[in-house]
Structure 1
Amino acid sequence: MMYKLGLIGHPIGHSLSPWIHQQFLDLAELDGEYKLYEGDRYALPGVLKHLKEIGIDGFNVTVPYKQVIVDYLDEIDSDAEILSAVNTVVNIDGKWKGYSTDGEGYVRSLIEPYPNLLNRETSVLVLGAGGAARGIYRALIGQGVDTIDIANRSQDKAKDLLSLRLGEVKSRVLSYQQAEEHLAEYDLIVQTTSVGMKPNVEDQVIQLDNIRNDAVVSDIVYQPIMTQLLRDASKRGANIHHGHAMLLYQGQLAFEKWTGKNLAVAHLVDKLENKLRGE
């Protein structure tokens, strides 16, 4: 079988997804191709018509399509429905089903280097309340984490995120100043905003003066690889987790849904880092 895979979005010319999924195809010893299908929001119907015509087996979805793609799908996974966003579409007997792999992909990327981090006793601070935060928040709850606080500039947006919780979880909405004051309470700090992304590489969403040196600081920004937040955390003796690991593992989960192959990809984290560095 020759797998036809791809990515839709705009702009996507810089995407590393073709490289990542070629690594997966090689690992799985499968024949296939992963292509970029770019178009602005108004070109979406034409792009999707083309994907239907070629019988694509599956594709990823990035901005600005993650919400609007839902209207074009035959079915949507329950998690993606709650999150109101889809980043992976699978062709199942000619019908398209949408999933969100960001949250579970993030968790996979985190427990690989820190296998004992997530449990009922873990206390987590999530910085930001956007789409990435929503997926990560829900996935952390799925791991049985008991305490997940949200810090965001907009308190209303953070409160809206809390409506996603399932089961018993304690959550507070904090300002960034309050988060800084309470920082010593957390085992894991997850930065989900675009703060610190190129070209504003000196920006940092909160200061880490009160962080514990046994805490893990995770930043989903992967350009630069070592954000100012991670640099600061490392300087203070805390553990760090890079954003490009999430990029790899959410792709791993998408590939698994398309092909049924659950690949061991930990060795590709460093290889992806070298690729991002242009090496």
Structure 2
Amino acid sequence: MPRKGKKLISDNVVPNPQSTDEQGMPLRVAQRLPVYLRHLRELSEMGVERISSAELGALIGVTSSQLKQDLSYIGGFGQQGYGFRVDDLYEKLSQVLGLDQRCKLILVGAGNLGKALVNYDGFRRLGYHFVAIFDNDPATIGSRVGVMEVQHVDELPNYLRSYRVDIGVLTVPETVAQEVAETMVENGIKAIWSFAPVQLRLPGHVLVEHLHLSDSLMSLAFRLHYRRQQERQAKKEKTQEPAT
């Protein structure tokens, strides 16, 4: 709920998968680029120098034509009968995704999930650096997470006005997520990565990536439940088949 006496900030609409970003790239394509990058990094580490569009597409789970169409949004690569140079494509995708620039993040919510994110070295290798962490728990404030000291969340506005921050990360309970997100936006944050189990309502110019862990787990559990039902049904039908 919005704070008392405060006008509700306009909705941040859930992106349509068919919508495009500021550069005219479909959202689904933008979501696949990090997957391409991850596989290219693995191929490079294995010593693979070239790979065909069919081989790369098979690794990722898309067709060769879909792969080529996706890459056409960043200029297109590869030659007929030659394929892609793995390192060249990796470098280009890294630039497109902004990995050649240092990205600064702050985190609000120094619980177990927040600490795990801050301590994950994989983010640093990709150029994502947590520069500050905030919480409202007296027992947590002043403690250290990695090299950072946890600051009181009341210091968040002053910090954001004093330092450049690219992305705000939320690992707070749903009851306070909206208020913290609004504080971030009011003090210059234009991109939020939220793990809070609630849909944030923010201005349309603010980029929001919601990652609802419970939704993902429930989706997986549903698929498992459905598969088991199908297997039981198939087994039942098999036992009911007339003997020949």
TM-score interval, normalised by the smaller of the two chains = 0.3 to 0.5
Greater strand share, structure number: 1
TM-score by length of 2: 0.39
Q: Which has the larger radius of gyration?
A: 2
